[in-house]
A = this chain, B = another copy of it.
């Protein structure tokens, strides 16, 4: 056992030049195109480079050209099931475009987000995609030396991609109304992000006249619900609960199970996001899908465009959402007899 694998120093452009008996410049031109290099030389250089396993040193290229072919991705928390898909698509798309992705995961520490961007700047990334959890605008207004695209926060002054949260809220409301629900509880996400407000607003406005929200509570970002909310559930005065995101909805499912409330027969539950968990819980969650991969792709496009043309007008892209009907919603019970149990 024991000996570490051999580790050849990687060949530099000099090595190739020497071996091919031409100048350094010739090698560069031959490999990258540009300049005027004859066919024989070009071929020879290619040959030698190949054989030496020469790969241009990106750092050196970066220093010389200012292009590092590197992009940064700032995420709040990979353990939040919402982000892996985003990270994956982004990395994949970026790689396809020739870029390499540097990852910063702040593990929920909001203050590290800006630090992270600083770090990325220093590393010479050409652009950053930022899934912002901090409050909107002001924090992005500190000027960075690198183009930034924000995902999820609709700031006016920065390129960003957001989802049609308002519409999503509407879809859920309409669906619940169609299913005959008239008394509804709301669990709003406790976050500073405006998306939660849009969802809420869309939901409420689409409900108007057809159903009433009996109560509304703020839920922290975790599956375990605070006692206050369990109590609300236990009152059993609603036939459906709208949750600000799927994580909360999963929490409700679990709480309902513990409280002996049947989902969806006694209580319908809807979420938002369509994270992977939504389809493995029992019952599977009816929710609104955010096209996460698409968002990542759009963010990349926006970013690449801005890198190419730094002074172009700011763009805001709003991607559509989709209602995913699964098993956590049923027709509202016609009789509310069981309600008496909870109500005095």
Please give the residue numbers on chain A whose beta carbons come within 8 Å of chain B beta carbons, in ascending order.
1-10, 55-60, 62-63, 68, 70, 73, 77-79, 81, 83-85, 87-88, 91-92, 95, 100-105, 107, 118-124, 140-141, 143-148, 156-159, 223, 250, 254, 257, 276-277, 280-282, 306, 310-314
Cβ contacts under 8 Å, A158 to chain B: 4-5
Evaluate contact between A103 and B123: CB separation under 8 angstroms: no
Cα-based distance from A43 to B223 in the complex (angstroms): 50
- Report the copy number of this chain in the oligomer: 2
Evaluate contact between A103 and B79: CB separation under 8 angstroms: no
Known A57-B63, A122-B58; contact A78-B70, beta-carbon cutoff 8 A = no
CB contact between A91 and one of B8, B103, B144, B313 (< 8 Å): that residue: B103
Cα-based distance from A17 to B78 in the complex (angstroms): 41
Cβ contacts under 8 Å, A144 to chain B: 5, 7
Evaluate contact between A87 and B78: CB separation under 8 angstroms: yes
Cβ contacts under 8 Å, A5 to chain B: 140-141, 143-144, 148, 157-158
Cβ contacts under 8 Å, A95 to chain B: 104, 119
Residue of chain B at shortest CB distance from A118? B55
Known A87-B105, A103-B87; contact A4-B57, beta-carbon cutoff 8 A = no
Known A59-B68, A122-B58, A143-B8; contact A3-B314, beta-carbon cutoff 8 A = yes
Cα-based distance from A131 to B107 in the complex (angstroms): 21
Known A141-B5, A145-B7, A145-B10; contact A59-B55, beta-carbon cutoff 8 A = no
CB distance from A324 to the nearest CB of B (A): 17
Cα-based distance from A8 to B141 in the complex (angstroms): 13
